[in-house]
Amino acid sequence: MTKTRDEIAAAYVSEPWWYDLRGFFILTFAYNSTLWSQVGFFSRNYGARHLELACGTGHLTAEIARRLDGQGRLHVVDKSPGMLGVARAKVSPAPGLDVRFAEGDMEEFLSGQPPASVDLVVIGWAICYSEPE
């Protein structure tokens, strides 16, 4: 079943705290046995330029910023200003880490002026909503 962009956007009209709570239970009970090994696997491949699309409330964003340890650049994009606000509050970048948050649709972001080059792209919370061609 294909959903329109408006139907997908309507799924994210609740307050961001609800998604944090839901995310906590998903991460704790569904992915707990593998999540940190997955993050560790990808962090070994981090370069200086990182892009996270559809960051949600920033669970992964904060971990990525921590693992970059004050080195390089982290661009973060989400369609929801509420989600971005919560994500921004979770990130405490070390001096030297350039973190930029942008509100927008990830398809439009990628077709517009995305960062010239990146070493790693994370799309942790959006693949399940992609539309088949």
pLDDT digits (tens, 9 = 90+) for 95-122: 999 999 999 887 777 777 666 678 888 8
User: Which DSSP helix (H) or strand (E) runs through 120?
Assistant: strand 120-122
pLDDT digits (tens, 9 = 90+) for 32-82: 677 667 767 776 777 788 889 888 888 888 888 888 888 889 999 988 888
Provide the terminal-to-terminal Cα distance of the chain, rounded to the nearest Å: 12
**Would you state the pLDDT for residue 132?**
47
What's the whole-number average pLDDT of the chain?
Answer: 78
Alpha helices by DSSP H, 1-133: 5-10, 16-25, 35-43, 59-68, 81-90, 106-111
**Would you state the pLDDT for residue 116?**
67
Task: Give the predicted TM-score (pTM) of the model.
Answer: 0.72
